[in-house]
């Protein structure tokens, strides 16, 4: 089971570190990351394995949303199924 974490907002030092820190704490294994900075806008898509989480998936979502709020970033954490179902036949 995997989840997709997307982070969008103004670039700053340590965004990737903070997001992956929260993932590590919850035992979510980061499997893929794509990231770009266009002008000063930061956009990251991260794929994490959530099959051996030590907390509930909703708890991980809350922590990441909380981080987003404190950094002024939009962080969405969604189960990968929604993307797979919508975009493949």
Partner 1 sequence: MINAYDILETIRMIQDECLDIRTITMGISLLDCIGPDTERACEKVYDKITRCAGKLVRTGEEIEKEYGIPIINKRISVTPISMISASSDGDPVRFAKTMDRAAKECGVNLIGGYSALVQKGFSAGDKAFIDSIPEALASTERVCSSVNIGSTKTGINMDAVKIMGRIVREAAEKTVDDRCFGAAKLVVFCNAVDDNPFMAGAFHGVGEPDCIINVGVSGPGVVRSALTKYPDADINLLADIIKKTAYKITRVGQLVGVRASEKLGVPFGIVDLSLAPTPAVGDSVAYILEEMGLEKCGCAGTTACLAMLNDAVKKGGVMACSRIGGLSGAFIPVSEDAGMIEAARSGSLLIEKLEAMTAVCSVGLDMIVIPGDTPAEVISGIIADEAAIGMVNSKTTAVRVIPAIGHEVGDELDWGGLFGKGPVMSVNPYSPKKFINRGGQIPAPLHSLKN
Bridge partners of 38, per DSSP, are 41
Q: Which listed residue (11, 32, 37, 55) binds partner 1 by CB under 8 A?
A: 32
Asked if residue 9 lies in contact with residue 71, where contact means CB atoms within 8 angstroms, the answer is: yes
Of 4 and 13, the one with the shorter C-beta distance to partner 1 is 4
Shortest Cβ 17–partner 1 spacing (Å): 21
Instruction: Determine if 34 is a binding residue for partner 1 (CB under 8 A).
Output: yes
Instruction: Determine if 77 is a binding residue for partner 1 (CB under 8 A).
Output: yes
Q: How many Cβ atoms are within 10 Å of 22's Cβ, its own excluded?
A: 17
Instruction: Determine if 49 is a binding residue for partner 1 (CB under 8 A).
Output: no
CA angle 31, 60, 30 (to 5 degrees): 10
Shortest Cβ 70–partner 1 spacing (Å): 20
Distance CA 78, CA 68 (A): 14
DSSP three-state, residue 87? helix
Residues at the interface with partner 1 (CB under 8 A): 4, 6, 32, 34, 45, 47, 57-58, 61, 76-87, 89
């Amino acid at each position: 089971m995997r989840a997709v974490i997307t982070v969008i907002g103004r670039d700053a030092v340590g965004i990737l570190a903070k997001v992956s820190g929260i993932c590590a704490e919850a035992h979510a294994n980061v499997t893929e990351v794509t990231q770009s900075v266009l002008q000063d806008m930061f956009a990251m898509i991260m794929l994490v394995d959530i099959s051996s989480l030590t907390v509930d998936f909703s708890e991980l979502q809350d922590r990441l949303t909380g981080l987003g709020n404190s950094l002024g970033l939009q962080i969405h954490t969604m189960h990968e199924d929604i993307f797979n179902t919508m975009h493949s036949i």
